[in-house]
Amino acid sequence: RVQSAICQLFRESLYSQGFVEIHTPKLIAGESESGAGVFTTDYFGTTACLAQSPQLYKQMAISSDLDRVFEIGPVFRAENSNTRRHLCEFTGLDLEMAINEHYMETLEVVHNMFKHIFENLETRWAKELEVIRTQYESEPVTFTDEPCVLHWPEAMEILKEKGFDMGDELGDLTGAMELALGAAVKEKYCTDFFMLDKYPSNIRPFYTMPDPADTRFSNSYDMFIRGQEICSGAQRCHDPDLVTEIINQKGIEIGDGLKTYIESFRHGVSPHAGAGIGLERVVFLYLGLDNVRKASMFPRDPNRCAP
């Protein structure tokens, strides 16, 4: 019921902000996420993949003059991750939007959407939350009125003060680092929900826009509840020549799927940004559950493919 409520509130907020719901294919010709494992299957004599996200298709929707789009649908990740917060199949809440001046416009839209979810869960679904909280103790998520956005250098300083060795400061965060950062942000800014901006380019997918001031970093962000990631996003690279260059730098083969994606930008596309959210992870962290599998009716992990 809480899953259903979050999907309903996600739709309500985005419809009110001018979005259109789309439905993209889950059988695709190639990988949609560099770095994420992919399931493959025979497709009438050729190899197809189960979509790791609707990423390429929601960007192509922007190039077709749908300025703001979202989708709720299954996401597949062939990653042998046996942790309490990973699934091989989950429900993705995805959005993409054209931007006018800066990708902060997207952060504001997503912040408004999460505010709508957090506020209405506690009022319109108070009865359901009360029942759940008799077994799994949790408090309502605290959040700021305006987006709470940390930049990568500030996060590095906080983590070094907490005793972490950040090396060259261009590596990804571990789970322990994220939890420590979340605790520090809660203490400093009095919020459970925050955004971390300007991730290093080398740990982000090929479609991420590099920071024009320093290409070691990117116009990308993650969002966190209680020190754990629930959402990843970025301004996308809408220049076909630049995205081709980045794909080649990352050593990715440009197959038919990527060729079509790149060509969709050649006749002009608005600068755009977006985000992908894991539904089960939002439920898991909002309700203070001890395992993401408890937020899924029929969880799929490396050891479970039934019922």
266 is catalytic: no
φ/ψ of 61, rounded to 5, equals -65, -40
**How many C-beta atoms lie closer than 10 Å to residue 291's C-beta?**
12
Q: Find where tokens 């989950």 sit.
A: 90
23 is catalytic: no
Active-site hit among 272, 281, 293, 296: 281
Active-site hit among 86, 116, 216, 300: 86
Sheet holding 272-278: strands in order across? 20-21, 68-76, 89-98, 272-278, 228-235, 220-225, 193-197, 149-151
229 is catalytic: yes
281 is catalytic: yes
Whether the CB-CB separation of 290 and 84 falls below 8 Å is answered with yes
Tokens, residue 138 = 């949790």
Whether the CB-CB separation of 219 and 238 falls below 8 Å is answered with no
Cis peptide before 307 (omega within 30 of 0): yes
226 is catalytic: no
Active-site hit among 218, 229, 236, 296: 229
Question: 104-124 and 126-133 are packed helices; what angle lies between their axes, rounded to 10 degrees?
Answer: 80
Residues in contact with 75: Cβ distance below 8 Å, sequence separation at least 6, in sequence order: 51, 52, 53, 89, 90, 91, 92, 276, 278
Kindly give the residue spans of alpha helices, DSSP state H, lying in the chain.
Answer: 2-16, 55-63, 104-124, 126-133, 152-161, 175-189, 240-249, 256-263, 279-286
How far is Cα 5 from Cα 1, in angstroms, rounded to an integer? Answer: 6
Q: Find where tokens 């408090």 sit.
A: 139
How far is Cα 5 from Cα 121, in angstroms, rounded to an integer? Answer: 7
Q: Which are the catalytic amino acids? A: 77, 79, 85-86, 229, 232, 281
